[in-house]
Amino acid sequence: MDTGLKTESLTASYFIIALGAIIQVAAGEWDVIWHAHQNSETFFTPPHSLLYAGVILVFSVSIFSLSKQRNTPSKLLLALKLALIGAGLQIMSGMFDLRWHSSFGFDGLLSPPHSVLVSGMLLNGIAATVGILHLMRITPRQAGFVKLVFATTVGSLWMVSVGMVLLFTLPLSEGETFNFNPDPFAAVVTATVVLPLITSAMVILGSRIPIKYPITALTALYVMTNALATIIFHPDIEYAFSYYVLTILVALAADFLLKSRLVSVIKIIIIGAMFGVLFYALYFPLSTYLYLPIMGMPLDTDMSAPTLFRLTYDTLGYAIIVPSLIIGALGALLTDKLMKKKLSFIVQV
């Protein structure tokens, strides 16, 4: 077996799987905006077409790669099998979703077929990240393509993890027949705890990407994907694009902090706290919807100017800042400790 050829092929496969997951997340966010601006909706929409194109991409590359890697150690193929399972679930959810629309009309965000779909997305993101981490144990991580793939897989895992949380917390799940909206208080508590935790964890994992400005590159990937999928398709908040991309400056500051002479644990705590607080801005505009019900505001609250952001954050900011600072710092510390124990082969801060 030509080990070099096999690992290069697997690296490419995980890159494509990660891209497929990112396409799915972007299309899913676009679909939320589509729901908000269309009075009627069927299964056959542009966002759905793009989303399932991402699903087919993951399914196809998983099948192809498994067929070409017959003599590869099973440990290295586990991630491909996981991606295949995730894509298979998504294909099944597509057929389920088509039937759901036919039977029940317009659906909300948290419908049974959507739950299966996003679960498949999460498996795709996990598969790509686990796969490249396995390969980094035996592949020189200084290779440019490996760096790119590692950054892309972490970005995909970040996006699908946030997508899973928003699926169960956003108050956008009232369909034509069923209302699956979560309890407003439980949704706010869950999102305010879990989103800063995920954000800081992904940033600390991304800080190990062996490039000069890893956090900046990872954050830019997230920000630009979300901006292109939501903000530019939303006529009321197009103004926010230039402000939204400024969040990348926080990531740049974090990268400079990484290079400083501060004690490692202090750097981890500060970066975790920074990104814990930043979650509200990073996940704009969907993050603003989280807090409207608990404030007694309708979901069609005016989104022009900076109204939506300010209506929620100016009122709830003090309640959000303290817990997100603490949770972000704790999430960063726990992630750093876990990485030193389980992923000691990648670059340390």
| DSSP-derived secondary structure for 265-329 | HHHHHHHHHHHHHHHHHHTTTHHHHTTTGGGT--TT---STTHHHHHHHHHHHHHHHHHHHHHHH
The structure tokens 């500060």 sit at 270
pLDDT score of 143 = 67
Look up residue 107 and give its two tokens.
């659906």
Instruction: Please tell me the chain's helix, strand, coil percentages from 3-state DSSP, rounded to the nearest 5.
Output: 75, 0, 25
The torsion region of residue 105 among left (phi > 0), alpha (psi -120 to 50) and beta comes to left
pLDDT band at 1 (very low <50, low <70, confident <90, very high): very low
- Whether the predicted pLDDT of 336 surpasses 50: yes
For the structural domain made of 1-182, what CATH number should be given? Answer: 1.20.120
Contacts of 52 (CB under 8 A, 6+ apart): 90, 94
Q: Which is more confidently placed, 176 or 41?
A: 176
pLDDT score of 341 = 86
Phi and psi of 174, rounded to 5°?
-95, 110
Contacts of 3 (CB under 8 A, 6+ apart): 138
| Residues above pLDDT 90, as percent of the chain | 44
Report pLDDT digits (tens) over 66-121: 887 666 767 778 889 999 999 999 999 888 877 887 777 777 788 888 899 999 99
- Whether the predicted pLDDT of 189 surpasses 90: yes
pLDDT score of 304 = 52
Structural domain boundaries in the chain: 1-182, 192-349
106-128 burial, b at 16+ Cβ within 10 Å, e below that, comes to bbbbbbebbbbbbbbbbbbbbbb
Q: At what angle do helices 74-104 and 46-68 cross, to 10 degrees?
A: 150
pTM, whole model, 2 decimals? 0.89
| Residues above pLDDT 70, as percent of the chain | 85
- Whether the predicted pLDDT of 159 surpasses 70: yes
Q: Are 175 and 105 in contact (CB under 8 A)?
A: yes
- Whether the predicted pLDDT of 325 surpasses 90: yes
Report pLDDT digits (tens) over 275-314: 999 998 899 888 888 888 887 777 766 555 456 566 666 6
For the ranges 56-60, 69-73, 132-136, 296-300, which has the lowest average pLDDT? Answer: 69-73
CA–CA gap between residue 36 and residue 298 (Å, rounded): 13
- Whether the predicted pLDDT of 39 surpasses 50: no
Which of 10-24, 26-40, 101-115, 172-186 shows the highest mean pLDDT?
10-24
Q: Which is more confidently placed, 140 or 205?
A: 205
Rounded to the nearest integer, the mean pLDDT of the chain is 84
Report pLDDT digits (tens) over 239-272: 778 888 889 999 999 999 999 988 999 999 999 9
Radius of gyration of the chain (CA): 20
- Whether the predicted pLDDT of 45 surpasses 90: no
Contacts of 223 (CB under 8 A, 6+ apart): 244, 245, 247, 248, 282
pLDDT band at 218 (very low <50, low <70, confident <90, very high): very high
The structure tokens 């208080």 sit at 185
Question: C-alpha 63: how far from its chain's center?
Answer: 24
